[in-house]
Structure 1
Amino acid sequence: MKPDPPLIKDRTFMNLSQKNMYFDEVFNYIVHFMKMDPQANYRLMVGTDSQVHKFHTLFVTGIVIKREGKGAWACILPIKFKRKYLNLHEKISMETTLTEQVASLFDEKRKTQLIDIILPHLYRGSSFSMEGHIDIGLERRSLTRFLANEMMARIESVGLEPVVKPESFVASGYANRYTKRSKKLI
């Protein structure tokens, strides 16, 4: 049986200053951003949030490269499904799937290219990490806490460090902001 094609195939990313960026362009922006200060500490973060609207569900995946204490560059990938995701497990699972698929675009060759930027400066304290931000909480009152182990294991399996609320700001803050703007994105 042939596997389903990725949900993100041939989709374009955007941010406040650019629309219709293919992943190669996104990656080039990240490389340029890191080369501006190769001695810094970098966190590459990917996370997805969603919002159920009247006739569809909008999923938005964010990519953020953060230079600790010195700014960030970010973009989003909006994807609209023409149905309402009302089951919490299904919705969080799809958010995690989209995060996994976008993170997989950073293949070994690309990861090596990013690490090579900071590598000569490791002894001066530079660093690079990759995180998968999940829109779930671990608190007792959180409706999503029972999904935490499953989703965190999935994020770890694709080579990312899982991050949950309240620290998962790429999913619960950045991407979340754009899920409300359905008409402007799609």
Structure 2
Amino acid sequence: MNFYHPRKGRFTIEEVIADMRQYMEADRSARYKVVIGTDSQTNQQETLFVTAIIVQRVGKGALFYYARKRSHPIFDLRYRIYKETEYSLDCMEQLKQHGLLEVSTDIPVEIHLDVGKHGETRTLIQEVVGWVTSVGYTAKIKPDAFAASAVADRFTK
């Protein structure tokens, strides 16, 4: 899977981790958090999924990357939210498999879900939050799910 940085261009997963490592080593006294979220947009031809990886230097900015994945059009909202959650969790697993934990084992990880207490997705909150927490990550929903609802959403348009 290819990732993109808005100013630096295309990255492999290994290059993302190396760039994250360099970012974190530039200020060792800062606290960091890794945030992953996926959003999707469907039209008659396809569904575009965008997964964002954000390395947040808490209180001091952030670095982010995104990846796009295209699929046949998915009109079923429940299925699409499940795919978004799956892609976010898969992305985190890829980061771990390619050495993210070698950077630091104590970095908190949040998975941001594009569901909220208002609107059609409210009935899915318990299911997807339960899924994310059952594999050991913190789940955030709207309005706190900025990785999905702001960053990833921006690149689905």
Fold in common (TM above 0.5): yes
Aligned to 1:131: 110
Q: Which amino acid aligns with 2:73?
A: K
1:98 and 2:75 correspond: no
Higher strand share: 2
Answer whether contact 1:133 1:169 (CA < 8 A) is retained.
Answer: yes
Root-mean-square deviation over aligned CA pairs: 1.6
Aligned to 1:124: none
Matching residue within 142, 156, 160 for 2:119: 142
1:60 and 2:54 correspond: no
1:102-113 pair list within 5 angstroms: 102-107=91-96, 110-113=99-102
Answer whether contact 1:130 1:160 (CA < 8 A) is retained.
Answer: yes
Aligned to 1:152: 129
Partners of 2:2 and 2:86 lie apart in 1 by 17
1:1-186 pair list within 5 angstroms: 11-81=1-71, 83-107=72-96, 110-115=99-104, 128-137=107-116, 139=117, 141-180=118-157
Q: Which amino acid aligns with 1:101?
A: D
SS at match of 2:103: helix
TM-aligned CA deviation for residue 109 of structure 1: 7.7
Which whole-Å deviations, capped at 9, do the CAs of 1:146-172 have from their partners, x for residues lacking one?
111111122123322101100000000
TM-aligned CA deviation for residue 108 of structure 1: 7.0
TM-aligned CA deviation for residue 16 of structure 1: 1.1
Which has the higher Rg, Structure 1 or Structure 2? 1
SS at match of 1:54: coil
Alignment TM-score, normalising by the size of structure 2 = 0.93
Answer whether contact 1:104 1:158 (CA < 8 A) is retained.
Answer: no
Q: Which amino acid aligns with 1:133?
A: H
Alignment TM-score, normalising by the size of structure 1 = 0.79
Matched length: 157
Instruction: Point out where structure 2 has 5 or more consecutive residues left out of the alignment.
Output: none
**Percent of residue pairs bearing the same amino acid type:** 30
SS at match of 1:45: strand
Answer whether contact 2:51 2:88 (CA < 8 A) is retained.
Answer: yes
Q: Which amino acid aligns with 1:35?
A: E
Partners of 2:4 and 2:108 lie apart in 1 by 23
Instruction: Point out where structure 1 has 5 or more consecutive residues left out of the alignment.
Output: 1-10, 117-126, 181-186
